[in-house]
Amino acid sequence: MTTSQTSSGWWWGIGRSLLLAIVAGAGAGVVTAVWTSRSLDDYAASLLADRRLPQVSTQQPTPIPGTYEEALSRVRGSARTGVAAVMPATTDSFAAKSWLRDESALGYGAIVSDDGWVAIDASVLDSVKNPLKDAEVWMSGKRYAVQTVVRDAQTSVVMLHTTATGVSPLGFASTNGEHSGEMMFAVDALGGVFPTAVAQSDEETLAGAQYAETFTTDWLLSSVSAPLSSPMVNAAGELAGFVRAGDVHALPLHQALHAIRSVVKTGADAVAAFGAYSIDLAHAYNIDSELRQNLRAGALIFSPDTSVHATVRGGPAAEAGFASKDIILAVDGESITESTSLAEILALYDPGDVARCTVLRAGQTMTISVTLGDASTLVY
C-alpha cells in the first residue's frame, strides 16, 4: 500500500467517526428534548394533583371584578356601609364630620345583621373595661350605644349588639378552603383599604393532643398595614375574616361564622361539643406509624397523658363508643384533610345535632354516630 493510500484511509476513518458522533449527539439531543418535555408535563400534572400544596377551599379564588381599580371601588363601597367604627363613649352630639377626623377610634368591626349586630376582633376592646358604658359604635355617620356583648368561646371574635336598626350588613364570603394568593383587603369605616393576600394556611404548633373542638390553623398574610384591628373583605366586598393591628395572621371567617349566626339568631354562642382529645395528623410529627396507620390526614383520638381519658367520661364521644386510637376520617361525608380539620367541621353543627363519623379502628372502617353536646356544659 502506498503512503498516499494509507493517509487517505486514515482521514476517512476520522471523518466517519466524527460523522457518527455528530449523528449520535443529535439523536441524543432529540431523545433528551423529548424526555425533558415529558418530564415537565408529568411534573406539572403532579403539581395539580398534589394536595399537600398550601390551601384553605376547593373553590377557585374569587376573581377580581374587572380591573383592580374597580375592585377597590367595590371594596370601599362595602366598607362605607358595612363596616362600623368602635369609639370611646362620649356625651357630645357632634355631626359625623367631627368624628370622621377623630383619631381616637378603638378599632373597626363588620356589620353582620340589619338589627345592629357587629362582629369585631377582641383586641378592639383591649383598653375598654366595660364596653356597655365605655364604648359606642358608629355606622354610616350615626352613633349607637352597645346593649349586649357576647364573646365567641372558640375564636377571638366578639359580638356587639347595638341600638341600630335598618343598617346594611356585609355579605359573607366562602372561606373554607381559600387558595393561597387570594386577594384580601383590611378595611375601616372611613373607606380606608389596606391590600394584602393569603400567603398560606398556617398551622399553630401545638404540643400533644388537644380538645377536638380546638382550631389549629389560621391565615398567614403576605403583608398587612392596617393601623387598627379590622375586618377583612375579599375582592367582591364580602366579609372574609378579621385581622389584628399590625399582625400578619388573620382569622378566617368560617371558623367564627357559626358563632356569628348563632348569636344573631338567638343572642347566645351555642358551640357543639364532641368531648374527646385528638391529634391532627396532617400537622403532627413523630407519631408512631402504628397509630398513624399510614394516613396523612385525620383526627386521631388520643389522651394527652396517662392521667386523662381520651374521651370525656359521660361526654358525647364516650357515649357514642369512640375509643383511644380511633382515627376519624370524615364527618357526614366531609373529609378531614390537610386544610380542613375536625374542629372546623364540628363548628358547623349545633348542640344536639347528630354527626355520622367515618372511623378507622385497627385497620377496619366503620361508621359511628354521635349526638353532639353543648360546650358550655362539657368539662374536660
* Domain of residue 241, CATH code: 2.40.10.120
DSSP 303-372: -SSTTS-SB-TTSHHHHHT--TT-EEEEETTEE--SSS-HHHHHTTPPTT-EEEEEEEETTEEEEEEEE-
Domain membership of residue 197 (yes or no) is yes
Model pLDDT, residue 204: 61
Domain membership of residue 357 (yes or no) is yes
Domain membership of residue 22 (yes or no) is yes
Which residues, 6+ apart, have CB-to-CB distance to 129 below 8 Å?
Answer: none
Model pLDDT, residue 149: 98
* Domain of residue 335, CATH code: 2.30.42.10
Model pLDDT, residue 25: 44
For residue 62 the three cell numbers come to 374569587
Highest mean pLDDT among 1-10, 30-39, 169-178, 292-301: 292-301
User: 225 and 189 in one domain?
Assistant: yes
User: 195 and 244 in one domain?
Assistant: yes
Between 138 and 93, name the one with better pLDDT: 138
Least confident of 59-68, 226-235, 272-281, 328-337: 59-68
Pairing of strands 277-280, 373-374: unpaired
First to last CA, the chain: 103
User: 14 and 73 in one domain?
Assistant: no
3-class secondary-structure state, position 297: coil
Residue 369 pLDDT > 90: yes
Boundary residue ending a domain (266, 299, 332): 266
pLDDT band of residue 217 (cuts 50, 70, 90) is: confident
Domain membership of residue 242 (yes or no) is yes
Q: HSE-up of 339 (CA within 13 Å, CB side)? A: 21
User: 232 and 125 in one domain?
Assistant: yes
Domain membership of residue 32 (yes or no) is yes
Boundary residue ending a domain (229, 249, 266): 266
CB 330 within 8 A of CB 336: yes
Least confident of 18-22, 72-76, 119-123, 145-149: 18-22
User: 291 and 253 in one domain?
Assistant: no
94 backbone dihedrals φ, ψ, rounded to 5°: -65, 155
The length of the chain, given as a count of residues = 380
For residue 197 the three cell numbers come to 393576600
DSSP 228-281: S-EEEEETTS-EEEEE-TT-SEEEEHHHHHHHHHHHHHHSS---EE--BEEEEG
Boundary residue ending a domain (12, 29, 50): 50
The stretch 121-131 carries a mean pLDDT of 96
User: 279 and 236 in one domain?
Assistant: no
User: 254 and 120 in one domain?
Assistant: yes
User: 295 and 178 in one domain?
Assistant: no
CB 89 within 8 A of CB 133: yes
User: 142 and 110 in one domain?
Assistant: yes
Q: For the chain, what is the domain count?
A: 3
210: how many CB neighbours lie within 10 A of its CB? Answer: 18
Domain membership of residue 106 (yes or no) is yes
- Domain region containing 37: 1-50
Task: Report the alpha-carbon distance of residue 97 to residue 188 in Å, rounded.
Answer: 16
Which residues, 6+ apart, have CB-to-CB distance to 172 below 8 Å?
Answer: 238, 239, 253, 257
Q: Write out pLDDT tens, residues 302-330.
A: 999 888 999 999 999 999 999 999 999 99
- The pTM of this model reads 0.74
User: 154 and 58 in one domain?
Assistant: yes
Domain membership of residue 380 (yes or no) is no
User: 319 and 261 in one domain?
Assistant: no
Model pLDDT, residue 91: 65
Beta bridge partners of 251: 242
Domain membership of residue 214 (yes or no) is no
Task: Report the alpha-carbon distance of residue 2 to residue 184 in Å, rounded.
Answer: 87
User: 250 and 118 in one domain?
Assistant: yes
The fraction of the chain above a pLDDT of 90, given in percent, is 53
Residue 279 pLDDT > 90: yes
CA triple 347-372-348, angle to 5 deg: 20
